Amino acid sequence: MGTGGVGGFYGGLLARAGNSVTFIARREHLRAIREKGLSVQGVKKSFAVRAPATDDPASVGPVDLVLLAVKTYHNPEVLPRLKPLVGPETVVLSLQNGVENGAEMARVLGEAPVMVGCVYIAATITGPGTIAQSGGSLRVVFGEPRGGRSARGQRLLKTFQEAGWPAELSERVTRDVWTKQVFIGAFAGVSSVARLPIGVLRQCQESRSLLRETAAETAAVGNSQGADLPPGAEARAMDVVDSFPPTTTSSMLRDIQEGKPIELEAMLGSTVRLGAQAGIPTPVNSALYRALKPLALELARGSGG
């Protein structure tokens, strides 16, 4: 559900391995996939697959697995449309940014089908029917929201690994999604306000401190939500900051530059809201969130959202 960079790349790998896959896409991208298939241009390998594609989930019927890979701001519209895909044994796995997707899915679909995960990939649609991966380890970590290793998780792990995913089944996926959030929330927020790549941000003492403070607040909120992050989570986030090529930009900054809607609520809003509920101050996250909110509204209006 959502054949963009994430859905197209990982769904494409599943199709290439011989699984029965249906791509759910829109407009020109959908037409191109129907007419000539999906082309995936990877850093190390490229491939093309042909598979059914539609813009109507109801025409597909119940499936074994739904990969939810739309941008998080589409969830209110998209989640109700997933219901025709969900049977008694269906798994709906979110591969989205953010930490609130599992709860959102459960409110609409019930808790039974929900699994959550996080991915480490830089990939995007570069033209109708074409996905380009520009970076990332391709690692996928997923699991049950309540923890533990389920039989269905083991089955999915086998399927993913056979398809070439560097997949890991986690017994503590809440920790994993918050570990990613500690880094990605800070990077997205600071880079989007400064409009600068990671190399410049980490060299300037003031912006480097801002990255670390944002990450520390996010870690504190994550622990209030049961993430049980080990001490020094913000230091490890800064290690990630230092590991990227200096020209790296956040996906949120790239969306701003391209005039697209942004995942502000998933990247920063969730930390602010959950922090307020838990009584944990988040002054840095709140300042970044408030600074970007009017822009987020303008970009959403410009896209018709």
CATH top-level class of 5-171: alpha beta
Can you tell me the distance from the alpha carbon of 292 to that of 188, in angstroms, rounded to the nearest whole number? 11
Residues of the chain with pLDDT under 70: 303-305
pLDDT reported for residue 304: 60
Interacting residues of 70 by C-beta distance below 8 A, sequence separation 6+: 1, 2, 4, 7, 78, 96
- pTM score of the predicted model: 0.93
Domain ranges of the chain: 5-171, 175-302
Residue pLDDT, tens place only, 108-131: 999 999 999 999 998 999 999 999
Query: What is the dotted CATH code of the domain comprising 175-302?
Result: 1.10.1040.10
pLDDT reported for residue 45: 85
Q: State which H helix or E strand residue 215 sits in.
A: helix 205-224
pLDDT reported for residue 27: 95
Torsion over CA: 55, 58, 61, 64 (sign): positive
pLDDT reported for residue 78: 97
pLDDT reported for residue 63: 98
Tokens 């520390």 locate to: 216
Q: State which H helix or E strand residue 162 sits in.
A: helix 151-162
pLDDT reported for residue 44: 87
